[in-house]
């Protein structure tokens, strides 16, 4: 990979080299964005050969070669949601591609009531380090729903992959299956709440292997651990190339003015994504450079915490006409793609993060990206080379201001970011890792 060092670079702690300039008058208030109420028909999934133009024929041939001795093997993926969030996004592509390689892959989603998802959301936050007191009632809810799912599910496959903590206790079925069981952890376990991790750990230790998204996420475990970077699909609606006319149409519908710089963060309305911090950084930067902020998120309507965070964001924005808040339903991939492509800069100012697929998506689109140095983001953003890492509202504000006033440096970051993703974080690389793991686990089984 050839990453060119941009000509100039700055630290958030460097002496600011910019002086305040008068801002042009603010535009007229925008009209309210349209909301999409029904999901469009899903696009047919791409075939392996469709990736050739992006990654080259040799990489596709390698996948076919690796899959040859796995023909007829079966895999089950289990997670807790079919739409929304990075895991579902990835499984949507991975499952058919493995199928095309004749590794039949089933995808099951566990079911649960609101009480279950409240508990697992609290577990998720606690595993990211949030304060939390684990009660007996929460443990019982977790176990009861896992048991209910376990009773209704069968595990006849050769490999069962359980994603994240929500279905982790399905491992109780291991004895009745001949499968190799893998726990795929997408979250940052580097500083987990000890009560929750202490509760989950005995389940995890029963797996044959665990997979983490970054070296820094892993825990000491008595089972083999593998590093799988998450990935994006360059052919998905979220990432494929778009006609300029479509990008313009989406901006027009949302009231985004393309004649002025656009700073965007795409994220669920979640405190760990720090949308309020983004608003504060934007307001600081805009004192010096003209720009608009787009906060495109989702999930606020079906997540009580999301609705509270959205309210906090609106309060922080006040009546600022340069901030456009979009609470989008989960099927707006094309619109998110268009907003990312229309952006001058993409921000992902997370305080805690899994891998941060929104960063991958932005880099793939060649966007100069500013992101919190947390979770898997430093795997993607090499500071000053493929993007800018920040640690504070002020740092974020400074980098927004710097990149908007140094467009050549920003453009080189974007080009480097694109190359970095192409090499490390595309779906085809991920398929290769799964094939290799399956080969290893099948060999272990016969050894
Ligand atoms: N996303 C989306 N709609 C939204 C917000 C996010 O489709 O309103 C997508 C986003 O483009 C990315 C994924 O959801 O593909 C979020 O993954 P990430 O790893 O950044 O964060 P997570 O939500 O999984 O913590």
308 and 401 together in one domain? yes
101 and 220 together in one domain? yes
256 and 206 together in one domain? no
430 and 416 together in one domain? no
- For the chain, the average pLDDT equals 91
Distance 264 CA to ligand 1 centre (A): 13
255 and 292 together in one domain? yes
Is pLDDT of 11 > 90?
Answer: no
Q: Which two tokens stand for residue 87?
A: 């895991």
For a ligand 1 pocket test, name from 40, 81, 84 the mutation site with the most ligand atoms within 8 angstroms of its C-beta: 84
What is the rounded CA–CA span in Å between residue 300 and residue 327?
7
207 and 251 together in one domain? no
Highest mean pLDDT (candidates 137-146, 208-217, 301-310): 137-146
Q: Which two tokens stand for residue 42?
A: 């899903």
Q: Which atom of ligand 1 is nearest to the CA of 327?
A: 8
3-class DSSP assignment, residue 325: strand
Give me the residues paired with residue 166 across strands: none
297 and 183 together in one domain? no
Polymer length of the chain: 447
Q: Give the residue whose CA is nearest to atom 11 of ligand 1.
A: 358
Q: Which atom of ligand 1 is nearest to the CA of 359?
A: 20
259 and 320 together in one domain? yes
How many domains, in total, are found in the chain?
Answer: 2
Whether residue 238 is contained in a domain is answered as no
Q: 427-446 and 57-67 are packed helices; what angle lies between their axes, rounded to 10 degrees?
A: 20
408 and 434 together in one domain? no
71 and 133 together in one domain? yes
Determine the pLDDT at residue 334.
95
Whether residue 142 is contained in a domain is answered as yes
291 and 221 together in one domain? no
Whether residue 14 is contained in a domain is answered as no
What is the rounded CA–CA span in Å between residue 205 and residue 209?
9
Whether residue 16 is contained in a domain is answered as no
Are the beta carbons of 292 and 262 closer than 8 angstroms? yes
Highest mean pLDDT (candidates 30-44, 121-135, 399-413): 399-413
Q: Is 268 in the pocket of ligand 1 (CB under 6 A)?
A: yes
**Which CATH number belongs to the domain containing residue 259 in this structure?**
3.40.50.2000
Q: Is 230 in the pocket of ligand 1 (CB under 6 A)?
A: no
Structural domain span for residue 69: 62-231+426-442
SS3 content of the chain, % helix, strand, coil (to 5): 45, 15, 40
Task: Give the residue ranges of DSSP H helices in 166-303.
Answer: 194-204, 244-254, 275-285
User: Which of 399, 288, 418 shows the shortest CA–CA distance to 347?
Assistant: 399
Is pLDDT of 14 > 60?
Answer: no
Q: Which two tokens stand for residue 149?
A: 């799912």
**In which band, very low, low, confident or very high, does the pLDDT at 66 lie, cut at 50, 70 and 90?**
very high
User: Which of 406, 407, 403, 405 shows the shortest CA–CA distance to 390?
Assistant: 403
Q: What is the residue whose two structure tokens read 């989603």?
A: 109
Q: What is the residue whose two structure tokens read 């915490």?
A: 305
What is the rounded CA–CA span in Å between residue 276 and residue 271?
8
How many other CB atoms are there within 10 angstroms of residue 154's CB atom? Answer: 11
Q: How many CA atoms lie within 13 A of 181 on its CB side?
A: 22
84 and 208 together in one domain? yes
Determine the pLDDT at residue 31.
46
**DSSP line for 103-150:** -EEEEEE----HHHHHHHHHHHHHHTT------HHHHHHHHHHHHHHH
| pLDDT tens digit sequence for 270-328 | 999 999 999 999 999 999 999 999 999 987 666 778 999 999 999 999 999 999 999 99
């Amino acid at each position: 990979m050839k990453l060119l060092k941009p000509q100039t670079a700055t630290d958030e702690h460097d002496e600011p080299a910019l002086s305040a300039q008068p801002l042009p008058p603010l535009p007229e208030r925008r009209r309210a964005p349209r909301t999409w109420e029904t999901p469009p028909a899903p696009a047919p999934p791409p075939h392996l050969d469709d990736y050739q133009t992006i990654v080259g024929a040799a990489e596709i041939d390698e996948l076919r070669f690796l899959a040859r001795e796995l023909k007829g093997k079966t895999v089950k993926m289990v997670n807790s949601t079919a739409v929304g969030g990075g895991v579902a996004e990835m499984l949507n592509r991975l499952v058919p591609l493995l199928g095309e390689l004749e590794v039949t892959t089933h995808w099951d989603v566990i079911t649960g009531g609101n009480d279950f998802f409240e508990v697992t959301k609290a577990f998720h936050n606690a595993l990211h380090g949030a304060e939390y007191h684990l009660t007996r009632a929460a443990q019982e809810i977790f176990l009861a729903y896992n048991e209910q799912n376990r009773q209704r599910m069968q595990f006849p496959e050769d490999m069962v992959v359980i994603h994240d903590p929500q279905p982790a206790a399905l491992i109780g079925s291991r004895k009745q299956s001949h499968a190799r069981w893998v726990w795929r952890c997408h979250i940052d376990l580097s500083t987990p709440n000890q009560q929750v991790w202490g509760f989950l750990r005995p389940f995890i230790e029963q797996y044959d292997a665990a997979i983490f998204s970054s070296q820094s996420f892993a825990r000491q475990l008595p089972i083999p651990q593998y590093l799988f970077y998450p990935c994006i699909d360059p052919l998905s609606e979220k990432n494929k190339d778009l006609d300029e006319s479509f990008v313009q149409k989406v901006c027009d519908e949302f009231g985004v003015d393309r004649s002025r710089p656009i700073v965007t963060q795409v994220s669920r309305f979640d405190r760990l994504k720090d949308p309020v911090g983004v608003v504060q950084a934007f307001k600081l930067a805009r004192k010096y450079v003209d720009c608009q902020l787009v906060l495109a998120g989702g999930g606020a309507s079906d997540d009580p915490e999301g609705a509270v965070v959205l309210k906090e964001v609106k309060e922080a924005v006040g009546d600022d006409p340069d901030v456009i808040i979009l609470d989008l339903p989960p099927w707006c991939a094309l619109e998110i793609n268009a907003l990312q492509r229309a952006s001058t800069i993409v921000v992902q100012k997370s305080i805690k993060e899994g891998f941060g697929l929104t960063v991958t998506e932005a880099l793939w689109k060649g966007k100069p990206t500013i992101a919190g140095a947390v979770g898997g983001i430093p795997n993607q953003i090499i500071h000053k080379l493929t993007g800018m890492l920040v640690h504070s509202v002020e740092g974020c504000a400074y980098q927004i201001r710097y990149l908007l006033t140094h467009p050549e440096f920003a453009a080189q970051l974007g080009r480097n970011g694109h190359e970095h993703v192409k090499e490390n974080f595309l779906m085809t690389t991920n398929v290769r890792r799964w094939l290799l793991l399956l080969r290893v686990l099948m060999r272990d089984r016969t050894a």
